[in-house]
């Protein structure tokens, strides 16, 4: 089993109405990836789709994939492609459920968003919005899920 240090939360940065699992997989194949970007994807209905066994490495956060389980929700952008927290109530509930399950399996892992892996460019010990490499998952996952133990 891998040494999981992070449970990384992502958005797919695609339309909640048109994004499909097969479309996501096709995009990853076009990038030449052997494995998907996420272990789990939460659909707008709240349905959780497992794409990869947790003992395998996905392609969620460059440089951290070997120590992470990657979870995404479908959505995260508005109709113009701008970052937006547009999770449905069903997605919010399903994400909490899934993260609780993962945290029970990996109790020492830190739950955080993809954006929280950005470098602290000014060295103040915090990663500010202007330092984000990506806005993913378009909300503060570290803060929202801090009470999941």
Instruction: Kindly state the percentage of the chain with pLDDT values over 70.
Output: 99
Q: Where are the beta strands (DSSP E) in 65-143?
A: 68-73, 110-113
Out of 13-17, 28-32, 90-94, least confident range: 13-17
Q: What is the CATH number of the domain that holds 71?
A: 3.40.80.10
Task: Quote the pLDDT of residue 48.
Answer: 98
Q: How many domains does the chain have?
A: 1
What domain range includes position 40? Answer: 6-144
- Of the pLDDT bands very low, low, confident and very high (cuts 50, 70, 90), residue 119 is low
Instruction: Please tell me the distance from the alpha carbon of residue 91 to that of residue 19, in angstroms, as a whole number.
Output: 14
| pLDDT, tens only, 50-102 | 999 999 999 999 999 999 999 999 999 998 989 999 999 999 999 999 999 99
Whole-model pTM?
0.91
Contact 41, 72 (CB under 8 A): yes
- Residue 149 inside a domain? The answer is no
CA count, 13 A, side-chain hemisphere, 2: 17
Higher pLDDT, residue 107 or 1: 107
- Residue 27 inside a domain? The answer is yes
| pLDDT, tens only, 123-138 | 787 777 777 778 899 9
| Strand ordering across the sheet containing 110-113 | 48-50, 40-42, 68-73, 6-11, 110-113
């Amino acid at each position: 089993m891998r040494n999981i240090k992070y449970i990384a939360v992502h958005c797919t940065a695609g339309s909640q109405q048109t994004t499909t699992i097969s479309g996501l997989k096709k995009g990853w194949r076009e990038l030449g990836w052997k494995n998907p970007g996420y272990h789990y994807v939460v659909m707008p209905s709240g349905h959780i789709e497992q794409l990869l066994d947790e003992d395998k490495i996905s392609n969620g956060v460059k440089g951290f994939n070997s120590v992470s389980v990657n979870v995404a929700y479908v959505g995260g952008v508005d109709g113009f492609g701008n970052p937006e927290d547009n999770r449905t109530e069903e997605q919010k509930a399903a994400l909490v459920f899934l993260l609780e399950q993962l945290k029970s399996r990996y109790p020492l892992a830190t739950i955080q968003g993809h954006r929280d892996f950005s470098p602290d460019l000014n060295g103040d010990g915090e990663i500010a919005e202007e330092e984000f490499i990506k806005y993913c998952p378009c909300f503060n996952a570290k803060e929202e899920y801090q009470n999941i133990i």
